Amino acid sequence: MKNCRYYKQLMYSLYDDELGPNEILELENHMASCDECREFYNCAKKMKTVLQAMPRIRPSENFNILLREKLRRESAARLHQSNSFVRYAMPAFGIGMVVLAVGVLSVKSLSRNNAGNSVANRTPVSRVQYENSDNHNVNYVIEEYNAKSNEEMITDIDSHTDSLKSLRDTHHLKARITPVSF
């Protein structure tokens, strides 16, 4: 059942020129028998005229002058910002680069020294921790040894470990042999 609410919606579609001929006819038939809808439609029609006839505002005469002035100020502010960047950010960037370069050089020279040490067969140290039957930790330090390569070093540690294992068997130490550091 189509009620007045439905027809009022149709009226706004008519207002927008969006109704087909059949719908217009249907609306007209309804309005012929409904005073309230007829009055509503007349008001809607008047409102359309009124809104379209509302005074148009003209931009003020100095609109373009003000706009240009604002654009000029905007450009000046941007220029100032970029100048500030050049004035402060560029030196800061330069200093940063110098610090970075010094850091990189230091790290390189340090690693070169380390490499020299390994070539000279400096002595890595391994500590092995045991737990004896009284739950007391016992640290065994694998003595200094010379190794020419990692493989040799590992073999060396293994041999020490083997000797420690036998030591463990001899002294009834609980089996936990953990290399702590190298």
Distance CA 142, CA 39 (A): 107
Q: Which of 22, 33, 52, 149 binds another protein (CB under 8 A)?
A: 52
71 contributes a contact to another protein by CB under 8 A: yes
Please return the burial class of 167, using the count of CB atoms within 10 Å of its CB with bins 0-12, 13-18 and 19+.
Answer: middle
Q: Which of 23, 36, 70, 89 binds another protein (CB under 8 A)?
A: 70
- Kindly give the interhelix angle for 21-33 and 35-52, rounded to the nearest 10 degrees: 120
> Which residues lie below 8 Å from residue 41, measured CB to CB, with a gap of 6+?
11, 14, 31
Give the contact letters, 15-34, x = binds to another protein (CB under 8 A), - = no.
xx------------------
Q: Which stretch binds another protein (CB under 8 A): 40-48, 85-93, 135-143, 168-176?
A: 40-48
Q: Residue 135 has which token pair?
A: 């739950």
C-alpha neighbours within 13 Å on the C-beta side of residue 38: 8
Q: Which stretch binds another protein (CB under 8 A): 57-65, 83-91, 104-112, 164-172?
A: 57-65
Kindly determine how many residues on this chain lie close enough to bind another protein according to the rule CB under 8 A: 32
74 contributes a contact to another protein by CB under 8 A: yes
| Residues that bind another protein in the complex, under the rule CB under 8 A | 8-9, 12, 15-16, 39-40, 42-44, 46-60, 63-64, 66-67, 70-71, 74
